[in-house]
Amino acid sequence: MNIHDLEAFIAVVETGSIVGASARLNLTQPGVTRRIQNLEDALATALLDRQSKPLKPTASGREAYEHGRRVLRSLEDLKAGVSPKGEVRGEFRLGIMPYLSDAALAMPLDGLRAAFPQLTLRITSGWSPRLVEQVARSELDAVAVCLAEGLAPPQELICDDLGAQTVLLVASSDLGVPREADLATLSQFPWVMNENGCGFRTYIRQSFEAARLPFQVGVEALSVDLRMSLVARGHGIGIVTPAAFADGRWREGVEVIDCPNFKPQVRAWLLHRPPAGRLARPIEVFRNALIDGLQLPMPQLS
Q: For residue 106, is it within any domain?
A: no
Alpha carbon distance 182, 174 (integer Å):
19
Q: Find the mean pLDDT for residues 225-253.
A: 86
Please write the tens of the pLDDT for every residue from 20-50: 899 988 999 999 999 999 999 999 999 999 8
Number of domains composing the chain: 2
Q: Phi first, then psi: what are they for 36, rounded to 5°? A: -65, -45
Q: Find the mean pLDDT for residues 43-63.
A: 89
Alpha carbon distance 140, 124 (integer Å):
9
The mean-pLDDT minimum among 78-92, 200-214, 273-287 falls in 78-92
The candidate with the shortest Cα–Cα distance to 138, out of 74, 48, 67, is: 67
CATH number at residue 53: 1.10.10.10
Alpha carbon distance 98, 55 (integer Å):
26
- The last residue of one of the domains, among 49, 64, 82, is 82
- Positive or negative, the CA dihedral 289, 164, 92, 158 is positive
Q: For residue 2, is it within any domain?
A: yes
Q: What is the pLDDT at residue 301?
A: 47
Q: For residue 214, is it within any domain?
A: yes
Alpha carbon distance 25, 8 (integer Å):
7
CATH number at residue 256: 3.40.190.10
More confident residue, 86 or 134: 134
- The last residue of one of the domains, among 62, 82, 102, is 82
258 DSSP 8-state letter: B
Please write the tens of the pLDDT for every residue from 131-189: 998 898 788 999 999 887 777 898 889 999 998 888 899 999 999 999 999 999 999 99
The candidate with the shortest Cα–Cα distance to 292, out of 110, 95, 104, is: 104
Q: For residue 116, is it within any domain?
A: no
Does an H or E element contain 99, and which?
Answer: helix 98-104
Alpha carbon of 14 to those of 22, 28, 49: distances in Å?
12, 17, 14
Q: Which residues contact 291 (CB under 8 A, 6 or more apart)?
A: 162, 163
The candidate with the shortest Cα–Cα distance to 99, out of 209, 202, 217, 234, is: 202
For residue 260, is pLDDT > 70? yes
Alpha carbon distance 206, 148 (integer Å):
11
Q: For residue 301, is it within any domain?
A: no
Alpha carbon distance 255, 248 (integer Å):
13
Q: For residue 300, is it within any domain?
A: no
Q: Find the mean pLDDT for residues 66-79.
A: 78
Q: Say how far residue 263 (Cα) sits from the centre of its chain.
A: 23
Q: Find the mean pLDDT for residues 194-209.
A: 85
Structural domain that includes position 213: 168-263
Q: What is the pLDDT at residue 248?
A: 73
Q: What is the pLDDT at residue 302?
A: 45
Q: For residue 70, is it within any domain?
A: yes
Q: For residue 215, is it within any domain?
A: yes
Q: What is the pLDDT at residue 94?
A: 93
pTM for this structure?
A: 0.68
At position 248, the amino acid (one-letter code) is: G
Q: What is the pLDDT at residue 255?
A: 93
